[in-house]
Structure formats: C-alpha cells, structure tokens
Amino acid sequence: MEYCNCFESPWPADELLMKYQYISDFFIALAYFSIPLELIYFVKKSAVFPYRWVLVQFGAFIVLCGATHLINLWTFNMHTRTVAVVMTTAKVLTAAVSCATALMLVHIIPDLLSVKTRELFLKNKAAELDREMGLIRTQEETGRHVRMLTHEIRSTLDRHTILKTTLVELGRTLALEECALWMPSQTGLELNLSYTLHHIMPVGLSVPIQLPVINQVFNTSHAVKISPSSPVAWLRSSGNNMPGEVVAVRVPLLHLSNFQIHDWPELSTKRYALLVLTLPSNSARQWHVHELELVEVVADQVAVALSHAAILEESMKARDLLMKQNLALDVARREAETAVHARNDFLAVMNHEMRTPIHAIIALSSLLQETELSPEQRLMVETILKSSNLLATLINDVLDLSRLEDGSLQLEIGTFNLHSLFREVLNLIKPIAAVKKLYVTLILSPDLIEHAVGDEKRLMQVLLNVVGNAIKFTKEGGVTVSAFVTKSDSLRDPRAPDFFPAHSDNHFYLRVEVKDTGSGINPQEIPKLFMKFVQSQPLATKNPGGSGLGLAICKRFVNLMEGHIWIESDGPGRGSTVIFIVKLGIPARLNESKLPFLHKAPGNQIELNFSGLKVVVMDDNSVGRMVTKGLLVHLGCDVLAVSSAEECVRAVSNEHKVVFLDVSMAAVDSFEVAVRMREKFSKRSERPFIVALTGNTERMIKEKCRKVGMDGVILKPVSVDKMRRVLSDILEHGYLVESQ
C-alpha cells in the first residue's frame, strides 16, 4: 500500500480495508511502544547488560517507528499540513535511526554470537571439571581408606592382629567377598593359607610356590588380576554363580637386614606372601584402578608393619632371655658369695679351733719331753711332737694360702728392723741346723739399711720357709744367707721377662740369696716346685718334704710384695740357691705419720710438761670416768675424778688447771656446773680451764658450750695423742685451737 501526501483518493476508499489498516497501525504502534518498555523493565532487572547504549539506540528506533505508525493514523483522512510535517519529521528521524541501528548491528551481532560460543565452551569446561572433581573425590576417598587402613594396621605391633586387621579393613573398604593371605612355609617351597576373612577357603591349604601365576604376581610390585579358577583363588564355581574378579598382590616379608641406612629397602628379599582379593560374585563389579592402587599401598604398609612386629618379637625374646640369664647369674653369684663366706667363716673358726688343741699337744709334749722317760717313750713323744708341729704348719699354710688365693690377704705394712729380722730367723734356725751339724752364715750387705717398711711377719715367713727348706734338704755342709740392696741391672731375671721393677725414691729392692750345699734339684723340676701340693721328693725319704704348700705361699707373698722368687741349681747333688727380690719402703722418706709403728712409740718430751698437772674429771659413768682418768694419769697428770656436779663444784680449787666435764650425762647438767664454776672463781687467772667431752657431733652443743663460757670441746672417743694435743693447746693458748 503506498502512502501519498495528496489530497485525492485514487479510488473510493474501501471502508473495511481502511478500518483494518487503521486498527493494525494502531496495534503496531502500541506494540512498538511497549517493546522498549519491556526491554527497559527487563534490563533494569538484570544486573549485567553490556550494551545499554545499543538499547537506547534500539529503543529510539522502535519508538520512532511506533510514532510513525501512530501518526499514520491521522493520515487516513484529510489532514492538515502540520500533521504532514510531523509525519515527515518522524519518518526522517526513523530512517536515520534505523540506518544507524542497522549499521551498528553489523558490529554487535557477531559479538553476541561469540558470547554464545563462549558460553558453550564454558559449559563444556564445567562438565569436564565436574568429571575431574568426581575422580579426585574418589581418589581422596581411597586415600582416606588407605590412611585408615594403615592406621589400623600400624596401631598394633602384634603380627596376627596386623594381618587380621588388614583383611578385615580391606574387606570392608572394598566390599570384598573373600580376602586371603598366603604365607611362605619354612622351607620356602610352598605357600600356606594362613588367614582368611570369611573362611570360604579352609585355612592350612598349601600350594607349591613355583606356579606360573604366583611367579607372575611375585615378579611385579603391582596388583595383578588373576583367574578365579587358579589354585590360590580356589573358588568353587558352583553352577550359575559368576565368580567375581580376583586380584593378587605380593607382600614382601622384610628382615632387619633389608633396611640399609642410606638406601630404602631394595626388594632384595626373596620371601613374599600373597594377598588374594575376590570381588563378590554376581555383582558385575570390576576392579578399578584406584582400588588396585589402594591394594598395592596397603600391601606395602603391611610389609613394613609386619617387619616391625617381627623385630619387636625378636627383641622381646632377646630381652627375656637376657633377663633369665641375669637372674641365673645373680643366683650363681650369690651362691658363690655364700660359698666363699661360708668357707672363710669355716676356715676362721676351724683355724682357731684347730690350733688351740694342737698348741696344747705341742706344749704338753714338750713338757713331757723334759720329764724322765724310757727310750721308747721318748721316741714316742718325739714323734708326737714332730707330727703336731707338722700339723700346725699345715693348718697355718692352708689358711694363708686360701686367703692369698681369694685375694683377701693384704700385707700389713709397718716399719721394722731389717737386720734384726734376719738375725731372728737365723736364731730360730740355728738349733735345728746345729742338730744336723750344718753351718748357717748370714751376710748382710753394708749398704742395707737398718729399718725398712713392709710386712715384717710375712717376710719372716718367707725367709723361714726358704731357709728351713734349705736346711731340710741339706745333709752336709750348710746354708748361706746373703742380703743386699739390688741395683737396676741385676734386677732382671732372665726367666721373668715380665718383671720390670720400677724405681722410686721411696722404695728399694731387697735381694736375698739362700745358698745350700744340699741335694740340688733337677732343672726340669724347678717350675713344679712353686706349684702347690706337688711333692718333689720320693715318699721313701725320712724327711718328707712337707705339705708342698710352703714354696707356693712364699711365691704368693713375694708377688704381693711386688717381687719375684726363683731357684737356681746346677743339678742333683750340686746344691741349689733360692733367690728372691722384694720391694720394701724406706722409712725416712715416707710419710711416717700414716704408718703405725709395731713397737711402742718412745715417750714424748711434751709428756714431761704434764707431770703433776692437777686436773679434775667429772663423769657420772664409772667406766668412762675410769678411762678418762687413766688417760690423763698415763700422760702424767694428777687426776681427781668426781661423779656429780655438787662434788665437782665443791672440789675444784684454784690449784686445778683443767676441768674435764662430760656433757653427755643425762642426769647432770654440765652446763650449769660451768656457770657455777665461773661464779665461784671471779678472777680469770684463778679459774681452771673448762673443757667439755661429748660424743655428740651436733653444732648446737658446741655453741652452747661456748655460750656458757667453756674453753673448749673435745669429741669422744679421745685417744692418747688427742688428749696430749688438747692439753698442750689449752695450756699454751688458753683455748683450744680447734674444737676437736
């Protein structure tokens, strides 16, 4: 339909057609006006719309179109020029806007299309991500299961619990029908079914280890799908049942030696167990990759847990064994100690008990010898005497040797006169030698010092033994004893290369040689001589050689004295020489105050100062009083002993120089005595010194004594030396230099 601006109508207007056009235009205009409204409404609603200005443009276009159609309504009939102008303006504008819009759409539509593709792309990506998420979740769940399984498995150190837990947890996690563990037998040639979960297979079954399927599984660290009909799966396929898939994985059985420090365990172990897992039959489930991974991880964990358990078992066993051994050792030690104690006690008792009667026998027999006897009787008495002497010696020797052997013998060191020791020994031997008509000579080297420090008694014993032996085995001639201080070169005995005597200023080495002209000794016999209980003489001789202990004891004593003893002999009939070297101390250079003298110390000059010194002793204990008095009397004092406080205070006069108060008395308060005495003697010069005697070491006592005005405190027990020192201190200084 063409519009024209002319006034004439070409044909008579069809009223219906006109009407319809009119209505349509009206509706078009309406639609055109409402579209932008709708657009605006919906765009306002949406948050993001990138093309607002497009909307404006489009809106303008539509509005103008609508306006055009609206104005068209007026042009159906006669219209004025204004309407025509408006119409024209509207049309022109519409044309402009629509062209602009058309032009713009050229740019926009491709954009809009690409948005669409991007949207599609994003949707695809989202779907992919969803899938991956699902996978990750599955994996994470698997991981969680593994962790839980591991936790369960590793929470115990008991092997059986570990394995049982593994099977149970695996069965639960993977919903398995059956879970079985095959362990290698001791011989390594078979696999025995050790654990099952649901006991579908009987425990105790065994299959040879060399099956191909087993080898296949053992050769790889992955889980392997195996056929359900293989011997290790051992499923009874009953009829319709579709057996579930079976997977097997190896579990390495690691030993302690498999764990290197710097490497992780190479699977150099050859022992594997087999873990067989069966999915439920008729379930159409399949083994998924993540499930297989889970199984592999679990198998590894189980291996480690098992080895830990094995190690623990071994160490527990070792510890138990050690404990048992310890207990046994303890018992044995205590038994040994008891035995030693018992033996020592026995020996000590027997020693004394045996000696007393023997001494009685000896003494009485010797007395008997002095009386008038017939020759036979004399012979009998002599034999009795000889036998008893032998017995006494034997008892002594045995006691000494046993004490030497268990190391309980210690030298009793003291200062003694070396020269007189030799003389004494010879004096003892001379009578016997005289009877046998043998000479005894003593040669003491001029540089041998007179006094030495050592064990006098034992040295005498050694000397007596050696010289006695010499006399015993000599029939004619005699014995020469020579003693000298030895120099370093001659100290070394070629037969004792271990003997390296050390030199020091405080000691010297005494060398004694006892040479006899007797029967001599076969050089081969010499080593045996120093062993105990060995008789070197045939039993038929008249002089049986004693118990055989003598030389052994000598050797022990000489060794204790850090010395050495040996025998030299040129052969039978040529005599023999016993040589021994012992280490002795030099008294002048040793700290003498540590070594007590064996003989009484000569009286001290200080004693003279105390003679006649008047002192008072107060002690309510009669024994204590007597002892203290005796002590002071021994030191030369003139002692008045009192037993009560009244007596003391009454008796003390200014003639008394010192008063000794025993403060441990219960009934008497000695402190009061001190106070009263101070009151009695106002002048300091007249008052005697007051010394407290106490057995109590508490400092309180000392403090109290000082407070009361005492001049000193002595701790009981008091020795002679201590009392001497106390007296000299107090008389010299007027107080005790140190409270002793």
Partner 1 sequence: MEIGGEYLEILGSSILMTDYLEYSNALFREGLLDGQFIQLQMLRDDSNPDFVVEVVTLFFEDSQRILNELSKTLDEQNVDFKKIDANVHQLKGSSSSIGAQRVRNACIAFRSFCDAQDVESYGFCFFVLFPDQMCLRCLQQVKQEYLLVKNKLEALLRLEQQIVAAGGVVPTLNDVS
Residues that bind partner 1 (CB under 8 A): 348, 352, 355, 359, 362-363, 366, 370, 412, 414, 428, 431, 596, 598-600, 619-624, 626-628, 630-631, 633-634, 662, 664, 666-667, 695, 716-720
CA distance 63 to 88: 15
Whole-number Cα distances in Å, 541 to 109, 193, 545: 147, 84, 9
Q: Closest approach of Cβ 515 to partner 1, in Å?
A: 25
Degrees, nearest 5: CA angle 169-172-175: 140
Other beta carbons within 10 angstroms of residue 217's beta carbon come to 24
Whole-number Cα distances in Å, 500 to 110, 396, 488, 507, 565: 115, 32, 9, 14, 14
With beta carbons less than 8 A apart as the criterion, state whether 549 and 529 touch.
Answer: no
Q: Closest approach of Cβ 649 to partner 1, in Å?
A: 21
> Closest Cα to residue 473, out of 418, 515, 508?
515
With beta carbons less than 8 A apart as the criterion, state whether 470 and 518 touch.
Answer: yes
With beta carbons less than 8 A apart as the criterion, state whether 419 and 442 touch.
Answer: no
Of 177 and 662, the one with the shorter C-beta distance to partner 1 is 662
Of 352 and 423, the one with the shorter C-beta distance to partner 1 is 352
Degrees, nearest 5: CA angle 192-197-202: 45
Q: Closest approach of Cβ 669 to partner 1, in Å?
A: 14
Q: Closest approach of Cβ 598 to partner 1, in Å?
A: 7
Of 235 and 665, the one with the shorter C-beta distance to partner 1 is 665
Of 156 and 644, the one with the shorter C-beta distance to partner 1 is 644
Other beta carbons within 10 angstroms of residue 130's beta carbon come to 10
Of 225 and 634, the one with the shorter C-beta distance to partner 1 is 634
Q: What are phi and psi of 548, to 5 degrees?
A: 85, 0
Start-end of H helices in 46-80: 52-72
Q: Closest approach of Cβ 468 to partner 1, in Å?
A: 13
Q: Closest approach of Cβ 600 to partner 1, in Å?
A: 6
Whole-number Cα distances in Å, 207 to 186, 199, 236, 278: 13, 17, 16, 18
717 upstream amide cis, omega within 30 of 0:
yes
With beta carbons less than 8 A apart as the criterion, state whether 362 and 389 touch.
Answer: yes
Of 623 and 700, the one with the shorter C-beta distance to partner 1 is 623
Q: Closest approach of Cβ 461 to partner 1, in Å?
A: 11
Of 600 and 699, the one with the shorter C-beta distance to partner 1 is 600
Of 72 and 694, the one with the shorter C-beta distance to partner 1 is 694
> Closest Cα to residue 272, out of 183, 158, 189, 195?
183
Degrees, nearest 5: CA angle 308-310-313: 110
Of 317 and 359, the one with the shorter C-beta distance to partner 1 is 359
Q: Closest approach of Cβ 412 to partner 1, in Å?
A: 7
Of 382 and 450, the one with the shorter C-beta distance to partner 1 is 382
Q: Closest approach of Cβ 719 to partner 1, in Å?
A: 5
Q: Closest approach of Cβ 668 to partner 1, in Å?
A: 11
Q: The tokens of 737 are what? A: 């230099």
Of 324 and 341, the one with the shorter C-beta distance to partner 1 is 341
Residues 6+ apart with CB under 8 A from 123: none
Q: What DSSP letter does each residue of 259-291 carry, written as one string?
A: --SSSPPPS----EEEEEEEPPTTS-----HHH
Pairing state of beta strands 451-454 and 439-444? Answer: unpaired
3-state secondary structure of 50: coil
Q: Closest approach of Cβ 451 to partner 1, in Å?
A: 17
CA distance 467 to 439: 12
Residue spans of beta strands (DSSP E) within 223-262: 224-226, 246-252
Of 431 and 538, the one with the shorter C-beta distance to partner 1 is 431
> Closest Cα to residue 194, out of 275, 251, 121?
275
With beta carbons less than 8 A apart as the criterion, state whether 179 and 167 touch.
Answer: yes
Q: Closest approach of Cβ 385 to partner 1, in Å?
A: 10
Of 47 and 667, the one with the shorter C-beta distance to partner 1 is 667
CA distance 96 to 83: 20
Q: What is the 3-state secondary structure (H, E, C) of 403-449?
A: HHHCCCCCCCCEEEEHHHHHHHHHHHHHHHHHHCCCEEEEEECCCCC
CA distance 217 to 276: 10
Of 175 and 598, the one with the shorter C-beta distance to partner 1 is 598
Q: Closest approach of Cβ 636 to partner 1, in Å?
A: 10
Of 572 and 596, the one with the shorter C-beta distance to partner 1 is 596
Of 100 and 608, the one with the shorter C-beta distance to partner 1 is 608
Q: The tokens of 604 are what? A: 């001290």
What angle separates helix 159-174 from helix 289-370, to the nearest 10 degrees?
Answer: 170
Of 205 and 364, the one with the shorter C-beta distance to partner 1 is 364
Other beta carbons within 10 angstroms of residue 368's beta carbon come to 15
Q: Closest approach of Cβ 550 to partner 1, in Å?
A: 17
Q: Closest approach of Cβ 628 to partner 1, in Å?
A: 8
Of 86 and 362, the one with the shorter C-beta distance to partner 1 is 362
3-state secondary structure of 663: coil
Whole-number Cα distances in Å, 646 to 626, 628, 642: 19, 20, 9
CA distance 130 to 604: 114
With beta carbons less than 8 A apart as the criterion, state whether 202 and 173 touch.
Answer: no
